[in-house]
């Protein structure tokens, strides 16, 4: 099978590329390298292209036809919530425009299978503790809106020309499947805490007066290698030709961990003796966000294998292996 992975040189995409290569699939990575790096996708063909740029539809369709692509996995997107609030036009151009180009190229090249990186951000501030896929979607920022619109675009393409698609709604992705594939960004909790500790500064906790057992926010942490495996399960499901029972799936564990829990595990892993500093709440943080994994378990036969200790240990190990990071 020949799989086109857009944004495959990034954090999550590179994990999926490695799993695909390990099982012998042919992989073509399309990435503009604005964020990802070529060394993360050794063994795959790499085509440097902005999927949201002019001429992308023709370039992508030609590539799909030339390589006999059977499915696309679409990671290519911008992912910073704050930036999406400041630059909504650019986020729509990149995330929605890039996906529109990809879908038009697929239609032209008759490639009818697509896996899309969606996000728990489509739920916004849900009124329930554990989120099912079918609750009302109310994203609270342009980033989350682009993900929800992406799901609508694929549903419309299914109706119009028979696209088979899966939208995977990731919860809090962390850890590293291999030391050379750690998260390059410092946007999520674990890398943010490690960065503060490596600089000899106390990690910050935003709000300890939420209605949760220890007062800090609760999130559903998913190991990036488990998340990558969910893409393989989804790919096999699309390729099976089975009638699709559902298109969107939470990729979570159904279990939450508090910010305090996570911070103390990171402090322990790094051997630091600094205590976290409590700051005021940040706007727009729901007290609790946990994904019900029942649907993905039942239909895609996927289940998380790693726990929070594995996540923290692997994130720390990749941090220490990364020459660009300040080490402990
Ligand atoms: N990391 C998370 O916690 C998280 C959570 C939910 C959803 N997601 C989604 O998963 C996907 C992958 O996330 P990630 O953490 O691996 O991000 P990342 O930034 O590490 O990877 C994205 C990759 O896409 C490339 N890219 C971006 N815009 C492009 C464009 N216009 N054309 C071609 N390539 C482009 C970047 O160079 C990068 O290699 C994104 O769609 C993101 O929104 C991530």
SS3 sequence of 163-216: CEEEEEEECEEECCCCHHHCCCCCCCHHHHHHHHHHCCCCCEEECCCCCCCCCC
Angle at 83 between CA 256 and CA 141, to 5 degrees: 60
Pairing verdict, β 257-258 and 218-219: antiparallel
Instruction: Check: CB of residue 64 under 8 Å from CB of residue 111.
Output: yes
Q: Is the dihedral of CA 16, 22, 24, 28 positive or negative?
A: positive
Which residue in this structure is represented by tokens 């036809």? 65
Q: What are phi and psi of 28, to 5 degrees?
A: -115, 115
pTM of the predicted protein model? 0.98
Q: How many whole angstroms from 211 Cα to the centroid of ligand 1?
A: 32
Pocket of ligand 1 (CB under 6 A): 7, 9-13, 31-36, 50-52, 75-77, 79, 94, 98, 117, 119, 170, 173, 188
Instruction: Check: CB of residue 137 under 8 Å from CB of residue 122.
Output: yes
User: Cα dist. 197→113, 221, 249 in Å?
Assistant: 43, 21, 35
Which ligand 1 atom is nearest residue 76's CA? 24
Q: How many whole angstroms from 184 Cα to the centroid of ligand 1?
A: 11
List the residue whose alpha carbon is closest to atom 18 of ligand 1: 10
Using most ligand atoms within 8 A of CB, pick from 7, 38, 48 the residue to mutate for ligand 1: 7
Residues of the chain with pLDDT under 50: none
pLDDT score for 237: 98
Q: What are phi and psi of 172, to 5 degrees?
A: -85, 105
Tell me which of 143, 170, 237, 306 is the catalytic residue: 143
**Which two three-digit tokens encode residue 281?**
């709440």
Q: Is 306 a catalytic residue?
A: no
Which ligand 1 atom is nearest residue 98's CA? 31
Which residue in this structure is represented by tokens 């949201």? 52
pLDDT score for 1: 74
Q: Which residues, 6+ apart, have CB-to-CB distance to 165 below 8 Å? A: 113, 114, 115, 116, 154, 155, 157, 158, 238, 247
Question: Which class for 14: exposed (0-12), middle (13-18), buried (19 or more C-beta within 10 A)?
Answer: buried
Listed in sequence order, the DSSP H helices in the chain are 11-22, 56-67, 81-86, 88-91, 98-109, 142-161, 189-198, 224-240, 259-270, 294-299, 308-321
Instruction: Check: CB of residue 121 under 8 Å from CB of residue 141.
Output: yes
Instruction: Check: CB of residue 289 under 8 Å from CB of residue 254.
Output: no
Question: Can you tell me the distance from the alpha carbon of 262 to that of 302, in angstroms, rounded to the nearest whole number?
Answer: 24
């Amino acid at each position: 099978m020949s799989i086109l992975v857009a944004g495959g040189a990034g954090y999550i995409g590179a994990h999926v590329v490695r799993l695909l290569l390990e099982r012998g699939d042919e992989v073509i990575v399309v990435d503009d390298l604005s964020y990802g790096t070529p060394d993360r996708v050794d063994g795959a063909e790499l085509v440097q292209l902005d999927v949201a740029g002019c001429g992308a539809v023709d370039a992508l369709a030609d590539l799909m036809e030339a390589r006999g692509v059977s499915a696309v996995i679409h990671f290519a997107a911008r992912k910073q919530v704050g930036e999406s609030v400041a630059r909504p036009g650019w986020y729509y151009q990149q995330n929605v425009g890039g996906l529109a180009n990809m879908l038009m190229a697929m239609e032209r090249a008759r490639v009818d299978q697509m896996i899309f990186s969606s996000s728990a951000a489509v739920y916004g501030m849900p009124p329930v503790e554990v989120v099912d896929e079918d609750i009302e979607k109310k994203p609270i920022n342009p980033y989350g809106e682009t993900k929800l619109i992406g799901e609508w675009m694929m549903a419309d393409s299914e109706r119009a020309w028979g696209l088979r698609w899966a939208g995977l709604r990731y919860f809090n992705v962390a850890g590293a499947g291999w030391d050379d594939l750690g998260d390059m960004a410092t946007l999520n909790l674990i890398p943010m805490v490690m960065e503060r500790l490596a600089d000899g500064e106390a990690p910050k906790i935003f709000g300890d007066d939420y209605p949760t057992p220890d007062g800090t926010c609760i999130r559903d942490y998913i190991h990036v290698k488990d998340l990558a495996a969910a893409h393989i399960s989804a790919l096999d499901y699309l390729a099976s030709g089975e009638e699709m029972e559902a298109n969107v799936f939470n990729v979570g564990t159904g279990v939450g961990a508090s910010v305090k829990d996570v911070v103390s595990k990171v402090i322990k892993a790094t051997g630091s003796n600094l205590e976290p500093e409590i700051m005021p709440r940040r706007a727009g943080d729901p007290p609790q966000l946990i994904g019900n994994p029942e649907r993905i378990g039942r239909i895609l036969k996927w289940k998380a294998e790693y726990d929070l200790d594995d996540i923290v240990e692997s994130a720390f190990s990749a941090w220490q292996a990364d020459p660009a990071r300040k080490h402990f």
